[in-house]
Structure 1
Amino acid sequence: MTKIAILGAGSWGTALATVVAENGHTVALWTHKPAQAEFINTNHLNPDYLGDNPINPGVVATADMLDAVTGAEIVVSVVPTKATREVAAKLADVLKELGDQKIILVGATKGLEPVTFKRVSEMLAEEVPEQYRSGVAIIEGPSHAEGVVKHDPTLVTAVSENLAVAEAVQDVFTNTHFRVYTGSDMIGAEVGAALKNVIAIGAGALDGLGYDSNAKAALFTRGLAEITRLGQAFGANPLTFMGLSGVGDLFVTATSVHSRNFRAGQQLGTGKTLPEIVENMGMVIEGISTAKVAYELSQAKHVTMPITESIYKVLYEDLDIQVAIQDLMSRPVKQEGK
């Protein structure tokens, strides 16, 4: 039996905690909201994020990070990208207080940091000193929390530059409905997982506008090509984007109503403003901030990403979606793959 601490009691953090508890491990689910922790422990529900789907009684929620992390061999950060550094810095303070405890530090958030363009694993490694960790890994793949807690067969990948670290994460999380593969391309996995949120907004917008499968397939395919080009510019293996953290994650996020990014795009397509969408969602829409980061990265790396650029302009420059579509369709024709 292993103790795992999950930092972040949103939908994905709660789902991961449930998987670990079902596997017979000790799991502490940390939230910064004491009332949420009390409600989860009393009712075994997290209604704001997972509706009436039950949480395994083995999940113990707490608002005390020291209590959550004490004795944990694996700590998983599942807070929004914008809160990753703050929470990781707090984790570092807790580990300093504990002294000689070393952890495997895992990132399970899909996003890139504004301004610095850092990946989640990079932020975690920068904030938590090496002396407190035995390895860094990430969990990525097509995995809506709602499906996981309902035991919908789900496949993800645990990625680390150290295979033994990835295998340790694989061993803790794998069961008959949650299957974990391993990988070593952290750049590719994190770039793919982050940028698919941007394409998912575009896919939702097409749906909201009433476009059918032809348009969605075009967006999906050419969007994946853009993600791959940007990932390669940072040294990623292009084959990674054909796997779970690439095409798999893009598919589930760009086609499902469980995706906040897809739903945000749908609302854009029906004419709602971005402030209205953010207010109505009530949860972080990672693709909105990632669109800006991806656009700025494409400019800095001189990578051609017309779909990403169009979505950025719709979100940040009030470009009309129909105009954006016509601009894309009017671009000079070329050979596919170029």
Structure 2
Amino acid sequence: MKIGIAGAGAFGTALAITIGLDGRQVMLWARDPKAVQSMRDTRQSPRLPDVPLPDDVRPTDSLDQLAECDVILLAMPAQAIRGFLADHATGFAGKRLVACCKGIDIETMRGPSQSIEDLVPDAIVATLTGPSFAADIARGLPTALTLACKDETEGAYLQSALSTATLRLYRTTDVTGSELGGALKNVMAIACGACIGAGLGESARAALLTRGFAEMQRLALSNGARPETLMGLSGLGDLALTCTSDLSRNYQFGLSIGRGEEFDPAVTVEGAKTAIAVTKLAKRDGLELPISFVVADLVARNITVEEALRRLLSRPLKEE
């Protein structure tokens, strides 16, 4: 079996490393020919410089080589996936395509798997999501993720194809719940980061995490997700990790907002645009998501952290 990974960022490279170490051939595609040649020469990636690329990982800038693979993982930002597929859909027709990003497209309000279905309608579609950091996966630290696929048979095939000695995949057919859990937890991570960055304390973060989880369930269930999915790795598990770790880019972005500091614009923060997309979804569905709305305004710099706090604390008292 040959596995392709479109996107040689930290997460795509980490997946390539763990799969390659398990003895499977991996084509790791990057857009930049110079970056590909450097990885070939040094057997290292600038995104994960401390972990060498296994012999079975073959960097390439050839989309034809990528399209020869049996399974192709799309390890790119959620906002980039539609553009990539629009340009290259023909080569991926009929393939097993696995979205490895977390977000909601800001223009279409569609999740990654829906974007694949829109642009490559005859592809077999799945999503890989859950609590993980690229560095942990690459270093062989034990990690568990959710593999979501509507087709149970194909889901079982992909679960077997992508699991490794240290990367354990759990299977579900609830693609909607898995994707929304992964997308919405990034919004809550920004909120929790802003809370800690502003010095509001651990108790306030616990409140945001808990009430944020209620918002995640509210939006996901209104879109047809199953409740148990949000209680699993792709919901509660990912939320707990992302809202409490300094390794989370979304949490770090929130910290910078809370501290009034600039944040590196070159770092991808999926939750920033997802927050804006969530507000559109919520308004369409008539849902009240106060934390998500506040995060969208913080990201847009429409309000300060102090104003966000006043808005949340002045809401009417109610039952939990």
**What is the TM-score when the length of structure 1 is the normalising length?**
0.91
Judge conservation of contact 2:148–2:172 (CA < 8 Å) in 1: yes
- Tell me what 1:200 maps to: 189
Alignment map for 1:291-302 (pairs within 5 Å): 291-302=275-286
Deviation string 1:112-162 (CA, Å, 9 cap, x unpaired) is 1113100100111111131xx3x2111011011011111221000111111
SS of residue matched to 1:277: coil
SS of residue matched to 2:12: helix
SS of residue matched to 1:304: coil
- Tell me what 2:59 maps to: 61
Structure 2 unaligned spans of 5+: none
Q: In 2, Cα distance between the equivalents of 1:248 and 1:129?
A: 31
Q: In 1, Cα distance between the equivalents of 2:151 and 2:88?
A: 22
Q: In 2, Cα distance between the equivalents of 1:86 and 1:329?
A: 40
Judge conservation of contact 1:23–1:172 (CA < 8 Å) in 2: no
Q: In 2, Cα distance between the equivalents of 1:322 and 1:335?
A: 25
Judge conservation of contact 2:196–2:202 (CA < 8 Å) in 1: no
The residue type paired with residue 23 of structure 2 is: G
The Cα of 1:12 is off from its aligned counterpart by: 0.8
The Cα of 1:23 is off from its aligned counterpart by: 1.7
Structure 1 unaligned spans of 5+: 97-101
How many residues align? The count is 320
Judge conservation of contact 2:180–2:216 (CA < 8 Å) in 1: yes
The residue type paired with residue 83 of structure 1 is: A
The Cα of 1:95 is off from its aligned counterpart by: 4.1
Establish whether residue 78 from structure 1 lines up as the match of residue 75 from structure 2: yes
Establish whether residue 173 from structure 1 lines up as the match of residue 162 from structure 2: yes
The Cα of 1:278 is off from its aligned counterpart by: 4.1
Establish whether residue 241 from structure 1 lines up as the match of residue 230 from structure 2: yes
Q: In 1, Cα distance between the equivalents of 2:150 and 2:92?
A: 23
SS of residue matched to 1:28: strand
Q: CA RMSD in A?
A: 1.4
Q: In 2, Cα distance between the equivalents of 1:51 and 1:208?
A: 29
Alignment map for 1:1-338 (pairs within 5 Å): 2-47=1-46, 49-70=47-68, 72-95=69-92, 102-130=94-122, 133=123, 135-272=124-261, 276-279=262-265, 282-336=266-320
Q: In 2, Cα distance between the equivalents of 1:233 and 1:158?
A: 22
Q: In 2, Cα distance between the equivalents of 1:91 and 1:229?
A: 35
The residue type paired with residue 106 of structure 1 is: V
SS of residue matched to 1:191: helix
Q: In 1, Cα distance between the equivalents of 2:117 and 2:77?
A: 16
The residue type paired with residue 240 of structure 2 is: F
Name the CA shift for 1:212/1:57 in 2 (closer, same or farther; >3 Å): farther
The residue type paired with residue 66 of structure 1 is: D
**What is the TM-score when the length of structure 2 is the normalising length?**
0.96
SS of residue matched to 1:38: helix
Q: In 1, Cα distance between the equivalents of 2:20 and 2:236?
A: 29
Greater helix percent: which structure? 1
Q: In 2, Cα distance between the equivalents of 1:21 and 1:321?
A: 44
SS of residue matched to 1:322: helix
The residue type paired with residue 277 of structure 1 is: F
Q: In 1, Cα distance between the equivalents of 2:159 and 2:92?
A: 24
The Cα of 1:29 is off from its aligned counterpart by: 0.7
SS of residue matched to 2:171: strand
- Tell me what 1:99 maps to: none
Judge conservation of contact 1:91–1:128 (CA < 8 Å) in 2: no
